[in-house]
Structure 1
Amino acid sequence: MIKSILALYKTQLLTFKGIGYLFTSIRLVGMNLMALLYIRQRLCPEQIAISQEGVCINYRTLYCQSQHLAMQLALHCGIKPHQKVAIMANNHAILVHTLFAVARLGADIYLLNTELSAAQVNDISNNVKFDCVIYDPDVTALPPIKNSLPTYHESQTSVYSLLTALPLAHQTKIKVTHFAKVTVLTSGTTGRFKMAGRSSKAQNFMRPFLQLLVKLKLSHYKKIYIATPIYHGFGIATLCMSVLLGATMFLTRRFEAKKSCQLIVDNQIEVVTLVPLMLNRMLTYSVDQLKSLSCIITGGAPITAMLVKQTLDQLGKVLFNLYGTSEAGVCMIATPDDLAIKPTTIGRPLKGLCAKLVAKEDKKELYIKCAWSTLGNRWVATGDLADKDAEGFYYLKGRVDDMIVSGGENVYPFELEQHLLSHLEIKDTAVISVPDTEFGQRLVAFVVLVPNSKLTETVLLGWLKSQIARYQMPKKINIIDQLPMTKIGKVDRKRLTQLYLSC
């Protein structure tokens, strides 16, 4: 408790001014995302809030521009409290303005993956019934509604044109609203998705935030690079965390290892949030350009023991591995000390969160329960298979819905991936399932070898035969230079399926 108080004091949130601005924000803008921005712009108005491609915006300017945009959106798009607004955009300053402006209007925000197919978007739209959609101009699959607005357009009305428009002659006072939802779409790239909405009530993020603040020593840092898309739960959480800390958020529209490494070294960035595959590519490109990082936060996908060892050996004890769910946000944290001993662990549950393993045939599914879950304080199935050791550390073992039946046997891609990763000459791997006329379904593996390795598919298949059961053997092993990646930094399994079918 003392550590939490000291950390909050260091961020100025737990000072007389900070507490005073909190109560003022509730009265002026309501309990929503804009309240976070109001407090921060009063505490440190000149602190840079956003840095993107050399353009910087301080917190006072971000707040004033977002308030102005809220009025323009109310006038031109008719956005009102409790309406449902879909936002499909990559990481850029206009997206951040839009998030705060829509939240100020009391509308519920739905963050959609920009890579969704037209069929997926239509399915979501039919279920949710959006009132408005705001989108990047390069997004082609949009909800079929008339009330739509691009983030930028050379000749038509856009978020950018509204943002830069002159103030309204007769400004209408915006109604103060509370507890609008921010909803993220999960698993959209697999074809199986669900919506996870989170209220802006303080108890939904303050308790886990305080534990992150202390464990990761976040109050020490002022420069955070959000590498994951903001439309992902990990990304929007980092944005909120950055505002609470009064840190500068560095944004790039798309992740590229070369540009990201250059951004970090040029600005001496201290914190980065990303998924393991992004970290892998950055370490491969340039370790030296990452030396300023004091806190690397990974999550969203399992991390390999090799990547953990490489990071700790080359950058020191800076790596934190987080596990979270759509319903509860961050659930577990593995510290650098934890990872040094147990490299693949997702850590132990946060205080106030309960976890248990429930038998599912021959595996165990992870269930969680906490007061800040969107589904209330009751047990929720995560869909993740897991194990727990004697010291209370948890380890991911794949997904429940990844299991296939091959020749009458239950087979899990994750198990094959782990066996392949135990080979000293395999740097990374991904396993997919494909239809098979004889067995119904079979596994196909894609592997990335360590530099200078001469391994072949034939040698690997021979080695595997002594490691796993016959029904677990892959139909084929493809050796490739690197795994394809989606915009959110996960392995693009659709692309791998296409690669297999094209062979």
Structure 2
Amino acid sequence: MNIMTLVLVLAKMRWLTPKGLFLLLAAVRKEGVNVMLLLHVAARLFGDKPALTDDWETVDYRQLFTRSRTLSIHFSHVYKMKKGQKIGFLCRNHLSFVTALFAASRIGADLYLLNPDAGKNRLKEMMQHHAFDVLVHDEEFAPLLNAFSISACKKFIRSSTLQNAIADENGILPRSSSGRIVLLTGGTTGKPKEAVHRPSILAYISPFFTLVQRLELHHRQTAFVATPLFHGYGIGMLLSMIALGKKVVISSDFKADKACTIIKKQRIDVVSVVPLMVHKMLDCRVQDLQSLVCIASGGAELNPKLVQSVSDQLGMILYNLYGTSEGGLLSIATPQELATFPGTAGRKIRGIQLTACNEKGQQLKPGEIGQLCVKSKNGWAQTGDVGWQDGAGYYYLCGRTDDMIVSAGENVYPQDIERVLSYHPGIDAAAVIGIRDERFGQRLAAFVQPAPHLSLTTEELLSWLRPQLARFQLPKEIIFVQTMPHTALGKLDKKELEKHFSSTGEQQLPLT
């Protein structure tokens, strides 16, 4: 990160003016260095410009800051929140959630973002393990939390009550440095991992600048953050657009019909999504998406068939963002790069060191497959993703390290087979998993979702696959399903697919 990069970033944010620099220094002096600092400066720069719209109302930048500041004083004086406390959030996307995040950050509390769709057992486990000082939650989760009978959490606050929070207009808070923002990750099985981030201006300048530059976000006006704010991708896009003074639209849930209506009504020009959302919106009402000039897709693999579909129907507006909860944004592929290098995760962002390593931790040459690792303060950190880099500097993903299947002594990456299946004109979605097998160790099973009103047979599909795959990559079984299971983040839920088979590899009840 050099001085010129910093200058360019501040200029795009309209902060590199005498007024902007004065406001930044004044905000640091008053607030300290925390997420509220960003909103403080944005409120002074953008004032009555629309800032945030949810399912119920729209507030401008001045109102958003005032509500967040009032709530921070309310949290401190009424609920006795203080620096270093653990504040959990169990909320959908809405205005009260956003103001509560800013307010708790201002106090210097550690913010824990929980997945509302994690399931009863997982939520109970997280509550017991983390022993939050305060949990801010939506009304819909009250019965569930009451059923837990958890004494570890000291206070429960319903998010609906925060809209009417009051505080002394002259009340002040001491300056504070930001606490941690903790994302609880780990998929659908096993104990969640903690992806810990401590907001830092210098640490996030380079990723932010690359995001703005490649997606040309400084030229956009209104963004629809369709991804959940409890995920790093969602909260990162929200804060980026606020820093630029843009209007941000959020919604408590994602339904394709509702999303298309929002995009048309709000004249959205940039939307942050996962690939499944893109697919559903194209199938719903593609004519309502004509205002879009940028679709930022992340959180899951973007297959070449979907890239081509977006290009055919909406033009060259699809970007592929790759990152991890722990490492943040790592690479970006532009529409032009996706057209030239189908399936690529793009080039790494400025200031990031990303490479493929073997099992011994040794860096691999271009073209060699290994686990992607990112350089951190403590050395090379494993991402858990398998991939490789080509000679031109573009990265490609092969799946997760725990997805790799060893069948008859051969290493098989399911994503390679899934990518081929995605090109079949009669297939809407496909997933490949490994099933326990006494002879081969594991055998390949492909789950296939045919396109509507089309019928496929196993033999027809295998005949189509044989010329395109190595013999050891051919699925031993093909299971046709009506729909594929997905997690709350829109990722394919292979753990759910594995339930189709018993521990011995025998088929169970069919999926619907």
> Same fold by TM (over 0.5)?
yes
How is 1:54-453 mapped onto 2 (pairs within 5 angstroms)? 54-125=56-127, 127-139=129-141, 140=144, 145-150=152-157, 158-168=158-168, 173-191=172-190, 193-360=192-359, 363-369=369-375, 375-376=376-377, 378-406=379-407, 409-436=410-437, 439=440, 441-450=442-451, 453=454
Encode CA deviations 1:320-350: one digit per residue, 9 max, x unaligned: 1111122331111111110111121011111
Deviation at 1:306, TM superposition (A): 0.6
1:313–1:404 distance in 2 versus 1, CA, 3 Å: same
Structure 2 counterpart of 1:153? none
Q: Is the 8 A contact 1:309 1:343 kept in 2?
A: no
Deviation at 1:360, TM superposition (A): 4.1
Structure 1 counterpart of 2:363? none
Deviation at 1:283, TM superposition (A): 1.1
Q: Is the 8 A contact 2:127 2:153 kept in 1?
A: no
User: Are 1:33 and 2:40 counterparts?
Assistant: no
Q: Is the 8 A contact 2:35 2:178 kept in 1?
A: no
Q: Is the 8 A contact 1:85 1:107 kept in 2?
A: yes
Runs (4+) off by over 6 Å? 1-4
Q: Is the 8 A contact 1:322 1:346 kept in 2?
A: yes
Deviation at 1:467, TM superposition (A): 4.3
Q: Is the 8 A contact 1:306 1:427 kept in 2?
A: no
1:297–1:334 distance in 2 versus 1, CA, 3 Å: same
Deviation at 1:57, TM superposition (A): 1.1
Deviation at 1:413, TM superposition (A): 2.4
Alpha-carbon distance in structure 1 between the residues aligned to 2:500 and 2:94: 32
1:384–1:101 distance in 2 versus 1, CA, 3 Å: same
Q: Is the 8 A contact 2:12 2:244 kept in 1?
A: no
Unaligned runs of 5+ in 1: 151-157, 370-374
Alpha-carbon distance in structure 1 between the residues aligned to 2:436 and 2:136: 39
1:391–1:162 distance in 2 versus 1, CA, 3 Å: closer
User: Are 1:11 and 2:13 counterparts?
Assistant: yes
Give the counterpart letter for 1:159 in structure 2. S
Deviation at 1:209, TM superposition (A): 0.5
Deviation at 1:8, TM superposition (A): 3.8
User: Are 1:21 and 2:23 counterparts?
Assistant: yes
Alpha-carbon distance in structure 2 between the residues aligned to 1:241 and 1:200: 13
1:162–1:213 distance in 2 versus 1, CA, 3 Å: closer
Encode CA deviations 1:278-330: one digit per residue, 9 max, x unaligned: 11111111221111011110111111111111112221121111111223311
Q: Is the 8 A contact 2:92 2:253 kept in 1?
A: yes
Q: Is the 8 A contact 1:254 1:487 kept in 2?
A: no
Deviation at 1:233, TM superposition (A): 0.8
1:263–1:136 distance in 2 versus 1, CA, 3 Å: same
1:227–1:398 distance in 2 versus 1, CA, 3 Å: same
Q: Is the 8 A contact 2:132 2:154 kept in 1?
A: no
Structure 2 counterpart of 1:502? 509
Deviation at 1:466, TM superposition (A): 5.0
How is 1:454-493 mapped onto 2 (pairs within 5 angstroms)? 454-469=455-470, 471-493=472-494
Q: Is the 8 A contact 1:277 1:491 kept in 2?
A: no
Encode CA deviations 1:405-430: one digit per residue, 9 max, x unaligned: 44555443223312322434323212
Alpha-carbon distance in structure 2 between the residues aligned to 1:162 and 1:227: 23
| Structure 2 SS opposite 1:308 | helix
Give the TM-score normalised by structure 1: 0.90
Moved more, 64-73 or 34-43: 64-73
Moved more, 441-450 or 46-55: 441-450
Alpha-carbon distance in structure 1 between the residues aligned to 2:405 and 2:71: 49
| Structure 2 SS opposite 1:62 | helix
1:145–1:137 distance in 2 versus 1, CA, 3 Å: farther
Deviation at 1:4, TM superposition (A): 7.2
Moved more, 315-324 or 112-121: 112-121
Q: Is the 8 A contact 2:356 2:369 kept in 1?
A: no
1:496–1:144 distance in 2 versus 1, CA, 3 Å: farther
Deviation at 1:45, TM superposition (A): 1.6
Matched pairs, number: 490
Give the counterpart letter for 2:163 in structure 1. L
Alpha-carbon distance in structure 2 between the residues aligned to 1:408 and 1:446: 23
Q: Is the 8 A contact 1:274 1:489 kept in 2?
A: no
Deviation at 1:43, TM superposition (A): 0.9
Alpha-carbon distance in structure 2 between the residues aligned to 1:190 and 1:75: 39
1:405–1:193 distance in 2 versus 1, CA, 3 Å: farther
Deviation at 1:487, TM superposition (A): 2.2
Alpha-carbon distance in structure 2 between the residues aligned to 1:148 and 1:502: 43
1:413–1:163 distance in 2 versus 1, CA, 3 Å: same
Deviation at 1:377, TM superposition (A): 6.4
Task: Tell me the percent identity.
Answer: 37
Deviation at 1:90, TM superposition (A): 1.2
Moved more, 329-338 or 13-22: 13-22
